[in-house]
Amino acid sequence: MVGVKSVPSPAISADDRSHEVDHPSSQLALFGTEQPLRLDCGVDLTPFQIAYQTYGELNADRSNAVLICHALTGDQHVANVHPVTGKPGWWETLVGPGRPLDPSRYFIICSNVIGGCMGSTGPASINPANGKVWGLDFPVITIPDMVRAQAMLIDRLGIDTLFAVVGGSMGGMQVLQWTAAYPARVYSALAIACATRHSAQNIAFHELGRQAVMADPDWHNGGYADRGIHPHRGLAVARMAAHITYLSDAALHRKFGRRMQDRELPTFSFDADFQVESYLRYQGSSFVERFDANSYLYLTRAMDYFDIAADHGGVLAKAFAGIQTRFCVVSFTSDWLFPTSESRALVHALNASSARVSFAEIETDRGHDAFLLDVPEFFDISRAFLQSAGKARGLTSKDG
Amino acid sequence: MSAQEVLPFNGIVTTQSGNYRADHLLVAEMVKPGSKVLDVGCGEGDLLQLLETRGIDGRGIELSREGVNRCVAKGLAVVQGDADTDLVNYPDDAFDYVILSQTLQATRQPKVVLENLLRIGRRAIVSFPNFGFWRMRLQLLIGGHMPRTENLPASWYDTANIHFCTIKDFVELCDEIHVKMERAEALDLYGRPLRLRLPWWVWNLFGEQGVFLLSRGIGK
């Protein structure tokens, strides 16, 4: 018989993960029934909560606030040790002392998106109507819904205009939605490795991931929480497939080639003979430790629905008509998930709106994930963009 | 010798980053302070930086990725793009001035580009190397080979400059597409403007480059 090992079970218990859902190790903004979140699907979400982290201090004239929008599987723990995994913050390359987003200069906010599973209300939260986990009873949310919730948080924090909204991938979609929905509240926007709409290919990959989750018998039509289980195999497969799209052929080849994992010869089994298989399995199993399967379904769906032009009569430039926000758009040469052509379409629309826009394509073979990695040229550009915007905004700076 | 000493223009600040190119100083002098400018083919952003010191809202387009990234790293609003294909994306009257500095000869369709410049901008400023310059003529006449100069060192087979013209050629094109010449300057080999009122043929012979301030003519 052929030896088979499936994806290993998570090392961290489901308790750690589910504890963060309702009692996050973050600051919490609670919105009662007097402040419902009006969702695009027509439902009022109420009550709801937003979990967020802040770094640095708001200055006297409240002009140095920066909102970071996280990507699909990110969360609010940008620059601190993650409470579940114990790993460093996911964007410590960009955020921190001496980094382009230095907490000594900016008041940096990052909130978990609505629909997420790290403390903001989502399908893993308790539905106050029946005291049970929401599961698939949770309304379908969109990127504009996420941004609407963030705007309520920013109101709550007493901030009128954000100095900058920054994000990559799904975070970049939120950045663009911020500028389209609240142009006067965004002084500058740094949109990285993103698009104004989700492409057919990207929707297809998301559907693959969702089907993997839903094919897991432990999913139970979204009702796994009541049974105290989690469809970690399906979610791990979804993550493995998605992870391939975040890399590139060249990056995979450079990193793994056809090298074997702890062995010289093939085992003639379906064990992880190749390093790349072992790596993917690790990515899958570590992901399910910290992420809720239903949340993954909802957030991928939100990205699928995203299309700014469709919300503005099919003409993208209309979304940005007369906008005063300073834009910086960044793409990466080897990113095939959000290719440069998507950024270029955005830049054309911004040009047509006479917006002030910088656009740089950065050469790297590291694929979509490049925005999370140590890419010096990207940091130089981010730093210079933020500094020149800070100068125009009249922010006093320590380093120019 | 600094550019300031060579070109006694008023209001040009040279202290910020040392010397500016002669044609850049002349262009900067042509732009009214406080206006909105698009620099097509902005290279590494030297002209945009010069314009910024005069309180001008400058934007740029540059073909080379390295150039764009250096500009953005200087905090300039520059996008990667091609004068031949990307100018069509800009709306009419989006800018007070559109500048095409030493780039016209490298475009595939100079006439279309020129028309676009004056559609997007109320005025255009165009500078280009003059192929009628006496040293060019001499190299072709005596040497019998395609001219090469310090400013244009590339060989015929690897140059990006596919549409060279003379000052006379350019003036004729402007006439043909009803472009009004508000101001014309020729710079000599040392970047000094030929300030004298001379006939065109002299400029065409002794101007190493031409710098023109253009606006839309009447009727077609």
Give the list of residues 6+ apart from residue B219 with CB closer than 8 angstroms, or none.
B178
| pLDDT above 90 coverage of chain B, percent | 53
State the pLDDT confidence band at B69, using cuts at 50, 70 and 90.
Answer: confident
- Asked if A243 has any chain B CB less than 8 Å from its own CB, the reply is no
Write out residues 94-133 of B within 8 Å (CB-CB) of A.
94
**At residue B63, what are phi and psi to the nearest 5 degrees?**
-80, -40
Question: What's residue B11's pLDDT?
Answer: 35
- ipTM given for this complex: 0.79
Q: What is the pLDDT of residue A399?
A: 47
Closest Cα partner for A70 from A164, A146, A123, A138?
Answer: A146
Q: What is the pLDDT of residues A22-42, one digit of tens each?
A: 889 999 999 999 999 999 999
Strand (E) positions, chain B?
Answer: 36-40, 57-62, 77-80, 95-101, 121-129, 179-187, 209-216
- pLDDT over 80 (residue A220): yes
Residues 6+ apart with CB under 8 A from B48: B39, B42, B58, B59, B60, B71, B76, B78
Contacts of B85 (CB under 8 A, 6+ apart): none
Alpha carbon distance B82, A258 (integer Å) = 40
CA B125 to chain centre: 6
Handedness of CA A247, A252, A256, A258 (dihedral sign): positive
pLDDT-derived band of residue A13, with 50, 70 and 90 as boundaries? low
Annotated catalytic sites of A, by residue? 169, 335, 368
pLDDT exceeds 90 at position B220: no
**What pLDDT band is residue B168 in, cutting at 50, 70 and 90?**
very high
> What is the C-alpha separation between B156 and B147, in angstroms, rounded?
9
Q: Is there a contact between A385 and B91 if contact means CB atoms under 8 Å apart?
A: no
For A381, the closest of B72, B86, B90 (CB atoms) is: B72
φ, ψ (nearest 5 deg) of residue B162: -100, -10
Residue A2 or residue A125, greater confidence: A125
Contact criterion met (CB < 8 Å) for A385 and B79: no
Q: pLDDT of B78-135, one tens digit each?
A: 999 888 989 988 989 999 999 998 889 999 999 999 999 999 999 999 999 999 899 8
Which residue out of B40, B65, B78, B79 would a mutagenesis test of the A interface target, given it has the greatest number of A Cβ atoms within 10 Å? Answer: B79
Whole-angstrom distance, CA of residue A346 vs CA of residue A339: 12
| pLDDT score of B169 | 94
Non-local (6+) Cβ contacts of B144 within 8 A are none
How confident is the model over A155-214, as pLDDT tens digits? 999 999 999 999 999 999 999 999 999 999 999 999 999 999 999 999 999 999 999 999
Put simply, the answer to whether B75 touches A391 (Cβ < 8 Å) is yes
pLDDT at A14: 57
Q: What pLDDT does residue B199 have?
A: 81
Asked if B59 has any chain A CB less than 8 Å from its own CB, the reply is yes
Cβ–Cβ gap A358/B74 under 8 Å: no
Cα–Cα distance, A87 to A222 (Å, whole number):
29
pLDDT value at residue B126 = 95
Burial degree of A161 (CB within 10 A; 0-12, 13-18, 19+): middle
Contact: A359, B73; criterion CB under 8 Å: no
Range from A279-283, A392-396, B210-214 carrying the lowest mean pLDDT: A392-396
